[in-house]
Amino acid sequence: MYVPKQLFFTKGVGVHREKLTSFELALRDAKIACYNLVRVSSIFPPHCEVVSIEDGLKHLSPGQIVHCVMSESATAEPNRLIAASVGVAIPRDRTTFGYLSEHHSYGQTAKISADYAEDLAAEMLATVLGVEFDPNSSWDEKREIWKIADVIADTSEVTASAVGHKGGHWTTVVAASILLP
């Protein structure tokens, strides 16, 4: 049974006249292009530790199959704002699982995209833990309810954003959590 023990977050931006190459360049910028990435659903494993990208990369070898939760967005439209975010909500009880969320957007600032991804992960965790709240309430109102319920230990996010290349080249952004054995 494979359950990741650690994970790290990363992000990148790539620009090229070819869409695939702009994606490759975004992965290079994120320092994960040399791995065979397998996208998985959005569970933060029990007992998992968040480590720095530098520490996480020490555990990987080029060509290795690596599981990840990744968000990406791309555009060839000049001046189009794009963002990709991964949010995380870690439960206070580390014997249970948390959530990772992917959000990709057009026209949202990095802050709006980041807040949305973080909120989404926290909302998924809160609902599975039975915390009742109004899903239409603001992030701050929900956060206050989660603090009172004392079931979420931490939330955070990683976000990459960019403005589409003025000459119409493909611009790609990626944000990812890389799961480590």
CATH of the domain at 56: 3.50.20.10
Strand partners, 6: 49, 180
Residue 71 inside a domain? The answer is: yes
Cα dihedral 152, 2, 24, 62 in deg (nearest 10): 130
Residue 52 CB partners (closer than 8 Å, separation 6+): 8
Expressed as residue numbers, the domain containing 128 is 6-180
Average confidence (pLDDT) over 3-15:
97
The per-residue pLDDT for 127 is 85
Residue 59 inside a domain? The answer is: yes
Residue 1 inside a domain? The answer is: no
The domain total for the chain is 1
Q: How many CB atoms lie within 10 A of CB 36?
A: 9
Q: Is the pTM of this model over 0.85?
A: yes
Residue 36 CB partners (closer than 8 Å, separation 6+): 63, 64, 65, 66
Average confidence (pLDDT) over 38-43:
96
Average confidence (pLDDT) over 131-151:
66
